[in-house]
């Protein structure tokens, strides 16, 4: 946690509104983004973001700094999402933890300039496929890749076993692989 943020948190815990406003400015985009990816509705996501910070203000004196503030905020917004979408929590726990492996996360080095255009097209297609994933997968993917949480942090945030988180992300990627296969089929048929 940056020193500046620690100072802001301490001030906000003592009731400093300006310090809290700075924290809201800093984190609102990520909280909004997470809410939007789950509920897929702009106004609802704004409501959830606002409610997250109001609850954070109320509970801030109890924040001991054992986790990062952003992780704590993600936990609040996720709980609010659970309230809005009661099936979300169950669908996450239903993953189980049978798949512990994961796709190795390498940097993209396809190594052929002729693939650039195709890659951009494929990337856009996959971005669309990510948006079309189920809400439980979108939540996991968002926490992992956009909010850059580790698997352990996601498990802690969502209060799920580590294996369940890994299984969920593995299955989300499997769905993206299927989407990519469909795209490949369209290449071969055209």
Partner 1 sequence: MDNHLTPQQQDLLIEDALKTFPLAPMPRSITPNVMARIQTNTRPAIVTLNDFALSLVIAVCIGAILFALQNLPAVAVMEFRKQSILLVQGFLVNARWLVPSMMFGLASLFVALTIPYLGRQLMK
The residue ranges that bind partner 1 (CB under 8 A) are 15, 17, 20-21, 24-25, 28-30, 32-33, 36-37, 42, 46, 49-50, 53-54, 57-58, 61, 82, 86-87, 89-90, 103-106, 108-110, 119, 122-123, 126-127, 129-130, 141, 144-146, 173, 176-177, 180-181, 184, 187-188
Q: Which is nearer to partner 1, 144 or 166 (CB)?
A: 144
**Among candidate residues 90, 72, 64, 74, the one with its CA nearest the CA of residue 31:** 74
Least Cβ distance, residue 82 to partner 1 (angstroms): 7
Query: Quick one: 3 or 187, whose CB is closer to partner 1?
Result: 187
Q: How far is the C-alpha of 102 from the C-alpha of 107, rounded, in Å? A: 15
Shortest reach from residue 111's CB to partner 1, in Å: 10
Residue 66 CB, shortest distance to partner 1, in Å, is: 20
Residue 61 C-beta: closest distance to partner 1, Å: 7
Q: CB neighbours of 182 closer than 8 A, spacing ≥ 6?
A: none
86 or 113: CB nearest partner 1: 86
Measured from the CB atom, the residue of 66 and 186 that comes closer to partner 1 is: 186
Report, in Å, the least distance between residue 19 CB and partner 1. 11
What's the chain's Rg over C-alpha atoms?
Answer: 19
Is there a contact between 166 and 99 (Cβ–Cβ < 8 Å)? Answer: yes
Task: Return left, alpha or beta for 65; rule: phi > 0 is left, psi -120 to 50 is alpha, else beta.
Answer: left
Q: Give the span between the Cα atoms of 102 and 166, in whole angstroms.
A: 7
DSSP 8-state symbol, 96? T
What's the CA gap between 74 and 37, in Å, rounded?
13
1 or 145: CB nearest partner 1? 145
């Amino acid at each position: 946690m940056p020193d500046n943020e620690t100072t802001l948190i301490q001030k906000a815990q003592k009731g400093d509104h300006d310090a809290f406003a700075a924290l809201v400015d800093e984190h609102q985009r990520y909280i909004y983004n997470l809410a939007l990816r789950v509920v897929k509705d702009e106004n609802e996501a704004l409501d959830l973001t606002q409610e997250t910070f109001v609850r954070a203000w109320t509970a801030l004196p109890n924040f001991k700094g054992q986790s990062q503030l952003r992780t704590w905020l993600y936990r609040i917004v996720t709980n609010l999402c659970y309230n809005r979408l009661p099936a979300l929590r169950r669908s996450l726990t239903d993953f189980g933890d049978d798949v512990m492996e994961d796709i190795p996360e390498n940097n993209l080095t396809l190594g052929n300039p002729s693939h650039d255009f195709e890659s951009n097209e494929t990337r856009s297609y996959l971005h669309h496929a990510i948006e079309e994933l189920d809400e439980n997968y979108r939540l996991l993917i968002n926490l992992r890749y956009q909010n850059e949480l580790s698997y352990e942090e996601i498990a802690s945030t969502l209060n799920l076993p580590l294996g369940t988180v890994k299984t969920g992300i593995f299955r989300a990627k499997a769905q993206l692989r299927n989407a990519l296969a469909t795209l490949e089929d369209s290449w071969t048929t055209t």
